[in-house]
Every structure is written in structure tokens, then in C-alpha cells.
Amino acid sequence: MSKFFYYLFFVILVTSCATNPYKKTEKVYDQKLQELKETISSKETVTLPVINTYKVTVTPSYTENLLNIKDSISTMGLTLLKNGVNTEWIGTVNFNLRKPNFIIIHHTAQDSIQQTIKTFTLARTQVSAHYVIGDDGRVVQMLNDYLRSWHAGNGSWGKNTDINSASIGIELDNNGSEPFSESQINSLLALLTKLKKDYNIPVQNIIGHSDIAPRRKVDPSVLFPWRTLAEKGFGIWPDEVLETAPADFNVEQGLRIIGYNTKNLSAAVAAFKLHFIQTDLSALLDENTVNTIYNIYKKQ
């Protein structure tokens, strides 16, 4: 028995002293992870073209929430699966943060940027956005671009049914019934210039809240200058002269390929017209609407 315990002690000693073949790569993993932590923790202001930036005081609740996220991406513990097998941990050296692929534009439907910021800093509201742009052109960033904001809610675009996980949310200080100011749109264009360059976001993936949630949402309002954005390279817009759609063109399929959820076809048509026609917000499928859908469909 004593020989057995001696042998067991020897095996344990040898095992504990054995060289970890992944020691170097684990070190690289830890270094890269630390760099990513610093990236998502950054609260530095960024200079945009034309406008000034404003630094926002970070609340303790934000810091605590960020700490929880940082802890979760650092976790390297073992996990017991239902079949009794423990997962192993061997860190890869090939990884980075997931990048956003969409930009969703909203209007706040509130009376001031201060009111919106308050809404986004109260835990009970369960709503947020990455950026808020004031009527005077002020740009406030409220969340790192790589983190998941709660701005899109229940919506979809194409096969993507979790828009929050793939997008940046931009809220424009506007009650929904007033024109958007020149200063505000100029700041939006400056911000879009930066975001599109930083994340290589496709032109057609710059859309509105109403696009991803037909009938449920109508922001940004009919007064939003989608055409101006498209002319600057942010989003798409119908051609001046519309080609007549083929007689066999399937409108529902066309809307679905563009990205709209067509389970409620009337709602999808109305949402499309809110974005791409704006002079008629009905769900009527007249010749102009069909031709416009066909035109945008061909731009996909």
C-alpha cells in the first residue's frame, strides 16, 4: 500500500511539473484579450469632421455592467456538460471583437437630448443606443461600437432576426413631427462617414427602425432625408427614371430580398414607402410603388 501511495505521489509530482505545451499561445491569448478589454473600455472622445465632440460622464452602473461583460469574455473555467464530460480550455491566438454590420437610424420621439440621455441611463427603461445626436449637432456616444445596445427591439432584416447583435443604433433628437435640422444631419453624415470607414458597413445596410419593424415603428419619420444620405453614399435611393417592372415581378419576393419582413405584406409596403417614396404612406400597390420596389430590388 505504501508503494502505491509513493507511486501516486510521484505521478502527481511529475504531472504538476510537466511543461504546458500551450504556455506560449496562452500568453498570446491573454495579451490579445487584454487589448480587447481596453478597446471596449475606451471612453475617449473622437473628432468628427466639421463638428465638436462632447465627453459624457460615465455612470457607476455603466462601469459595473462593462465589468460584467469583461469578466464573461475572460472566463476560462471548465464547464460540465450534460453527458458528464468536462470541457477543456486551450486558448486560440486567432480572434477579435465582432464588428457591426448594420446602422439603424431612429428618432427619439422625446422633447430634448437631455430627456433621451436620462432615459438611456435609467436601468428600468431597458433601452439604449450607441449614439444620440442633438438638434444642435451635438454628438453623444453612450456605448462602445463593439458592444450590444438595446435599440432595435423585436425586428428583422433579411434573415437577421437579432438586429441588436449586428448593428449600431443612432438616435436623432426629434419628436417625430418636426424637420431634422441642418446641423443634426451634418453631424449624422460626419458620424456615418467614420462608422462606414471603421467597419466597412455595406451601403444598403444603413436603414431605419421602421424598415426592420414594419407597422410597429415609424422612425425616423417621413421628414427624414433618406435621399440626401444616399447621395452622400449612405443608403440607396430610387433612380429618377424608373424602369417598368416586368409583368411577372413578384412584389412580395422583391421586398423580402431587399430585407423587409413580408409576413404582413401591407405593413411591409407601407414601411418601404415611408423610406423610399415618402409622398405616399399608404399600403396601396400602385404602378409607381411596384416600379420603385423593382428598382431598389435590382440594387441589392
Catalytic center residues: 171
User: CA nearest 195: which of 106, 108, 98, 102?
Assistant: 102
Question: What are phi and psi for residue 188, nearest 5 degrees?
Answer: -60, -45
The alpha helices in the chain, defined as continuous H runs, are 2-17, 23-41, 60-74, 113-120, 182-199, 209-212, 226-231, 251-258, 265-276, 287-297
Sheet holding 102-107, edge to edge: 139-141, 131-133, 167-172, 102-107, 206-208
For residue 187, how many other CB atoms are within 10 A of its CB? 25
Question: What are phi and psi for residue 140, nearest 5 degrees?
Answer: -115, 120
Q: How far apart are CA 237 and CA 81, in angstroms?
A: 51
Alpha carbon 165 to its chain's center: 6
Q: Read off the C-alpha cell for 213.
A: 419593424
**Residues 95/107, Cβ–Cβ less than 8 Å:** no
Give whole-number Cα distances, 46 to 21, 50, 172, 264, in Å. 42, 12, 18, 41
DSSP state of 247: T
User: CA nearest 225: which of 179, 187, 269, 292?
Assistant: 179
